[in-house]
Amino acid sequence: MNVLLSDWTGEFGLPPFAAISDEDFGPAFEAALAEARANIAVIAGATEAPTFANTIEAMELAEGLLDRVAGVFYNLAGADSTPAREALQRDLAPKMSAFSSEVTNNRALFSRIETLWQGRDGLGLTAEQARVLQLYRQMFVRSGALLEGAAAERLTAVKSRLAVLGTQFSQNLLADERAWFMPLAEADLEGLPDFVVASARAAGEEKGAGGPVVTLSRSLIVPFLQFSPRRALRQKAYEAWVARGANGDANDNRAIAAEILALRHERAQALGYASFADYKLEPEMAKTPAAVRDLLQRVWTPAKAKAMADAAILEARLHADGIAGPLEPWDWRYYSEQRRVAEHDLDESVLKPYLGLEAMLAACFDCANRLFGLEFRPLDTPLYHPDARAWEVSRAGQHIAVFIGDYFARGSKRSGAWCSAMRSQRKLGGEVRPIVVNICNFAKGDPALLSYDDARTLFHEFGHALHQMLSDVTYGFISGTSVARDFVELPSQLYEHWLEVPEVLEKHARHWQTGAPMPADMLQRLLAAGTYDQGFATVEFLSSAFVDLAFHEGTPPADPMQKQAEVLEGLGMPRAIRMRHATPHFAHVFSGDGYSSGYYSYMWSEVMDADAFAAFEEAGDAFDPAVAQRLERFILSAGGSEEPDALYTKFRGKMPGVEPLLKGRGLLDVA
């Protein structure tokens, strides 16, 4: 019996990772797809009049086995790829797309949903059921259920090709990141803090390079750019970093990006929309491209002014080093780090020993305990990789979730940080509690020491995890993070604020060797520097968001790189800052539809997260029980059970303006 298809009898129904082989996945997907097709056929072919139970609830459970197999496979494909998994992922992309199209193109099935929709007022539905019915119908219509004949067939082909291209984009990017590294001679280690040297040696060992190396992992290349006094090496590393996916070889993503944009536009027009941005934003909080552009522009003006002022200061430092010419992108982090030490007396090499991974995990868990009563018990169970760890999450003795953390960079893991669920919460058909996964790419060390930005990433992804773990809905379709894209970042960005609460750092930011707390003056300087370099960070982000919007707002560009250049020129992009994600490695936008025309979502959510944390500040306690209870009830546990603006208003009383965001980034009073 294929272990993926048998009952999982281990603790909490965890997948039996130790017994799963790559050869199991292909047959398991075939069996799971066959079962799902059979279940859908029964629902669509039923002779009984449609009811919510025999149609919507039946669909909720129809793909249970497929969800289970896919939940394991796609998590492993991203976090621990192998050649076999990559090959299967390429093979599955069109198959999974075809199955999705089969379901949404099923005329009999849509007819039953439409009958329920038209008669919804007489069905006696709960508010949650009414919302689920609305979202199912919306999914079918937006997938082309109203199209017929050649138009429907073409849309199916377009979606299949997009699935193939998104997978290829991701795998090309991973191949580039895995292949490149820059060997360092012992002399090249001069000026690097011990933690960077240790990370470079560990990376060299993993690559079998026989010595220290710099890789394209953000947790290694960024500190190298911050600390290395060797400008030529900084330039070489930086140019390799920004060239991912654009090296003119088999992994080049530029033509793929152009084809994706053209197909998305065709898809949107087939469904009656002027552009893909109009199509994509319709169900989001923003609703229209104009609303997105307005927000981005309101923040861009002060952010650019701040960045330009900072650039002049950093360029003066460059010239003081005897280097003529302008400040370049590979110079910014180096001179910004020097300025940070000079102005805030914050040396990251002195700060990091107080931000060990274990200490920051304890801080994440402690905040969750104080806010929501959650407790975390380590589990001794086989997982998919030796670096991964698991905890049982409980509250008042009741099982809530299993949480898996996988924190270190490796060649088999795609870059970035993310949260996913191997199993989502639901109550239909019996209570199902989630298995939630956080993936990061921190530099491995003994011990693993984090930068403050790394610690923020840890809290961010854990905020997503809380959204999954505390979900309390009946239907998996609206469980956890199944919400509007520009709402999904609210819980994650909000949780970052607890890293800035002084009592949290006083308790948990302790030196990994001595256990001594972070000195009070260092803590004060750290918090005082909270908005340091926000001109750079905001411009870096916003430029990517503007380019994403421009790609999808009108006729798709034949040459995305030319369009990217035009957008940046129109913005007056500062010379020494590049987009956070250039087109050939903009995985958020091109690895799938998730953040396409939606990279702005982080900033849209930030408007809310700044205002949401203000609710705790107004209560006079970052752990105020009443505010935390409202946060759980209306945001973290509610999933997609209501429109996001309705949920936020229930939590806060009103929707916020942009001022809290500008204040939080130190841009409120910038000219």
Name the β-bridge partners of 436: 403, 421
C-alpha 94/C-alpha 33 separation (Å) is: 13
- 142, two tokens: 């937006």
| Catalytic option among 60, 461, 553, 632 | 461
Distances (CA, A) of 374 to 366, 395, 432, 491: 8, 5, 18, 16
Helices marked H in 390-473 — which ranges?
Answer: 452-469
DSSP labels for 316-360?
A: HHHHHTT--S---HHHHHHHHHHHHHHHH---HHHHGGG-BHHHH
Give me the helix-helix angle, 254-270 and 149-179, nearest 10°: 160
CA separation (Å) from 490 to 151, 481, 655? 38, 10, 13
Q: Which residue has the tokens 């930030």?
A: 606
CA distance 557 to 567: 12
Q: Could you tell me which of 503, 511, 510 has the C-alpha nearest to residue 527? A: 503
Neighbours of 39 (CB within 10 A): 18
Distance of CA 330 to the CA centre of its chain: 26
Helix (H, G, I), strand (E, B) or coil at 125: coil
Contact (Cβ atoms closer than 8 angstroms) between residue 440 and residue 406: yes
- What is the identity of the amino acid at 537? A
Q: Contact, 176 vs 153, CB < 8 A?
A: no
Cα separation, 600 vs 541, in Å, equals: 9
- Would you call 206 a catalytic residue per the annotation? no
Cα–Cα separations (whole angstroms), residue 542 to 287, 300, 524, 571 = 19, 7, 29, 10
What's the CA gap between 487 and 601, in Å, rounded? 7
Q: How far apart are CA 535 and CA 543, in angstroms?
A: 12
Cβ-contact 492, 465 below 8 angstroms: no
Per-residue HEC secondary structure of 547-567 comes to HHHHHHHCCCCCCHHHHHHHH
510-517 contacts, C-beta under 8 A, 24 or more apart: 510/354, 510/359, 511/353, 511/354, 512/353, 512/354, 512/356, 512/358, 512/359, 512/447, 512/449, 513/353, 517/354
Joined tokens for residue 333: 């982090």
Say how many C-beta atoms besides its own lie within 10 A of residue 601's C-beta.
Answer: 24
Query: What DSSP character marks residue 408?
Result: E
Cα–Cα distance between 520 and 517 in angstroms, integer? 8
- Cβ neighbors of 532 (< 8 A, separation 6 or more) are 340, 343, 344
Task: For residues 426 and 99, give the distance between their C-alpha atoms in angstroms, rounded to a whole number.
Answer: 23
Secondary element (H or E) of residue 398: strand 398-408
Task: Say how far apart CA 495 and CA 461 lie, in whole Å.
Answer: 9
Q: Which residues pair with 392 in a beta bridge?
A: 377, 402
314 in Cβ contact with 331 (< 8 Å): yes
Residues noted as catalytic: 461
